[in-house]
Amino acid sequence: MNDWTPKPIPSAALAKLPLTPEEGFVLSRLDGATPVRHLTALTGFPPERIQAILTRLVEHGAVLPAPTSAPPPSTGARAEAPPEEDTPAEGEEPLAAGEEEAPEDATVEAAAGNWRQIFERQLHPLPEDERASRARGAEDPELSAFCFDPVPAVIKSVLENTRVGLGHARLIARHHHNPVGLEALCGRAAFVADTGVRRWLVRNPQLPAGLYRRLWSGRRLLEQYKVAMDRDVPEGTRRTAREVMRTRFNTAPAEERVELILNTEGRVLASLVGLAVDGKTGALLCGRTYRSPMLIQNIARWSAAPPALIAHLLKQEAVRRQPQLRMLLQRHPNAPADARRGG
């Protein structure tokens, strides 16, 4: 039973289920990838209590029942077509406007209403210093409820609680709207490294620009681009993300620059006006075969495209088949002289 990985049922009407605060808390920690044996450390509940709660969640129809036997391993080998040269290589991140939503978000939403009610009805009426003292030793669901406190001193006490975990950090990143409290949260390296915490931090309108620069300036260009283009991120943070991305582009390794350009099909080039690339970046770009019309168009509109890259694109089969692409490239200021003459 300890090897069972509980999986929430996405279609379950969680808001209508008669869940206790404890059941809602455990359900919010199920991501479909964490086995039962790890839930004790994740929730602070003893194993027998976890088992009892999971049994009730299965009865409520919120969690899939444990399988009676493991499925046989697959013996068939899947044949995969080799990727095209102008598509992301294996291991590179696919383009997305923002971080992928965590599977647990729906269950957290259902439980968050209970935690907010506990805070507003039971905890918020208490004096601030009493809340700060109580948060330091609280247990769930009260500990999760304290994550909704708007006072930074209370949030600091939550972070000092030995029971605090990633679930609490994500709640703070999403619901706490005071820069001082967010600074305290980001003082914990393990929390800042979490994808969910980072996702909610950049969507928090109170995230200070200086804090964003400190946390994201060393991250990969592709991750910075995703933040800059995510419509769920406040415009102020998106603007900072674009500035950070431009600064890092000047010093990033050539391989990372090429990854950014190819994964975005050249869309990022509109944000890099005025920036040039070094010889290694140009050489890597010239070493690929291009089949994507969108990527070719965006490079053709990129004023800093190296002359060798324009000449390389003019030789591509995709360009020879589409006169409009060839015309765009021939009009580029860095196009070879014979190409501009129509040769």
Instruction: Kindly state the DSSP code that residue 189 receives in the 8-state scheme.
Output: H
Name the 3-class secondary structure at 8.
strand
Point out the least confidently predicted range of 67-71, 106-110, 271-275, 276-280.
67-71
Residue 141 lies in a domain: yes
Q: Report residue 9 CA to chain centroid gap.
A: 23
Q: What is the mean pLDDT of residues 210-223?
A: 92
pLDDT value at residue 68: 58
Q: What is the DSSP letter of 83?
A: P
Residue range 47-106, pLDDT digits in tens: 888 888 888 888 877 788 877 544 444 434 444 444 445 554 433 444 443 444 444 455
End position of a domain, from candidates 207, 231, 253: 207
What range does the domain containing 319 cover?
288-343
The answer as to whether 119 is a domain residue is yes
Last residue of a domain, one of 60, 88, 115: 60
Residues 52 and 140 in one domain: no
Residue 110 is assigned to a structural domain of this protein: yes
pLDDT, one tens digit per residue, over 97-140 is: 344 444 445 555 556 777 888 899 999 999 999 999 999 999 88
Tell me if 86 is assigned to some domain.
no
Domain assignment present for 193: yes
Boundary of a domain, candidates 39, 60, 81? 60
In this structure, the answer to whether residues 140 and 194 fall within a common structural domain is: yes
Using left for φ > 0, alpha for ψ between -120 and 50, and beta otherwise, residue 138 falls in: beta
For residues 164 and 172, give the distance between their C-alpha atoms in angstroms, rounded to a whole number: 11
Number of domains making up the chain: 3
Q: Would residue 275 count as lying in a domain?
A: no
Question: Given this model, what pLDDT does residue 306 score?
Answer: 92
pLDDT of residue 111: 66
On the question of pLDDT at 341 being above 60, the answer is no
Q: How far is CA 42 from CA 36, 45, 56, 100, 291, in A?
A: 10, 8, 19, 22, 47
Is there a single domain that holds both residue 109 and residue 203? yes
Q: Could you tell me if 109 and 25 lie in one domain?
A: no
Both 56 and 114 in a single domain? no
Residue 212 domain-assigned (yes or no): no
Please, which residues bridge with residue 8 across strands?
63
The answer to whether position 161 is within a domain reads yes
Average pLDDT score over the chain: 83
Token digits of residue 113? 């209403």
Q: What is the mean pLDDT of residues 336-340?
A: 74
